[in-house]
Amino acid sequence: MESDKIFAGPIPEVYEKYLVPLIFASYAADLAGRLRTGRVSCILEIAAGTGVLTRALDAELSEEIEIVATDINAAMLAHAAVIGTKRPVQRREADAMRLPFPDASFDAVVCQFGVMFFPDKAAAYAEALRVLMPGGTFLFSTWDRIEENEFADVVTTALEAIFPADPPRFLARTPHGYHDVQAVRRDLAAGGFPGGVRIETVTARSRASSPRIPAIAYCQGTPLRNEIESRDASKLAEATDAAADAIARCFGNGAVDGKIQGHVVAVLR
């Protein structure tokens, strides 16, 4: 769905406040750490969002390394710029399938949980390959199936009661819809990568001080909000309440702790 890739309006602020600490921060630190020991001088980040990985790269890597952060959503980049980084970061609005950079411009291309949104993944991978220097690294992550990501699964199921005729399926369809590692390998090959793909499944914990936090994060801080409001904008609060109640039933009314799981993919040009 076209609305699946729209992060605008109030979404960037809610995303950064609630979703980033809930599911993204630990994986950002992990990805940045994987580049720490390599020979890297210029990094391109794709689908940078509000900048959680950008900030992790800034914190983990030598200050001499240049970072270019791109996203198709100008509102997400604008929010990232307000938060800022220690070093100067070039931020550019860009489509991952039509990167506005010359061939062999970067020795690393990174993307945290963004590849799932690319309409043509092989084409996006071909672009990553094109802008990589020989020997450069393409490093990215994609979520595992929704059943391995407990809060997202519970929220998706809870919304079936609010919209029984047409349940919103954004979380299962897009963020958790690209979990087959064999499909990832096939798409990388179709994009021109020569092989030697390394895929590691990484499990972590998603923690919040109350069930309402993940409910707000998913229902109001992702394009799931667009899907809810397209059905009935007046039901956003009801949908959030239903998600919070469902999380409370599964994980308790106090602090909550759920499993999250994704795949980290690395391949050399």
Tens of pLDDT along 79-132?
999 999 999 999 999 999 999 999 999 999 999 999 999 999 999 999 999 999
List, in order, residues 6 or more apart from 214 with CB less than 8 Å away.
Answer: 18, 22, 151, 155, 206, 208, 243, 247, 256, 258
86 touches 63 (CB < 8 A): yes
* Rounded alpha-carbon distances, angstroms, from residue 241 to 2, 62, 150, 155: 26, 44, 17, 10
d(CA 259, CA 257): 7
- Supply the DSSP string of 99-130, one letter for each residue: --S-TT-EEEEEEES-GGG-SSHHHHHHHHHH
Domains of the chain are 2-268 (3.40.50.150)
- Name the residue among 183, 210, 208 with its Cα closest to residue 197: 183
pLDDT tens per residue, the chain (269 residues)? 678 888 999 999 999 999 999 999 999 999 999 998 778 999 999 999 999 999 999 999 999 999 999 999 999 999 999 999 999 999 999 999 999 999 999 999 999 999 999 999 999 999 999 999 999 999 999 999 999 999 999 999 999 999 999 999 999 999 999 999 999 999 999 999 988 999 999 999 999 999 999 999 999 999 999 999 999 999 999 999 999 999 999 999 999 999 999 999 999 99
Main-chain phi, psi angles of 12, to 5 degrees: -55, -40
On the CB side of 177, how many CA atoms lie within 13 Å of its CA?
Answer: 16
| 8 A C-beta contact, residue 192 and residue 129 | yes
- Please answer whether residues 261 and 201 qualify as being in contact, where contact means their C-beta atoms are separated by less than 8 angstroms: yes
Measured CA to CA, the distance from residue 124 to residue 115 in angstroms comes to: 8
The pLDDT score that the predictor gives to residue 37 is 74
Question: Nearest CA to 152 among 124, 177, 131?
Answer: 177
Phi/psi of residue 102, nearest 5 degrees: -65, 165
Angle (CA) 42 44 45, round 5°: 140
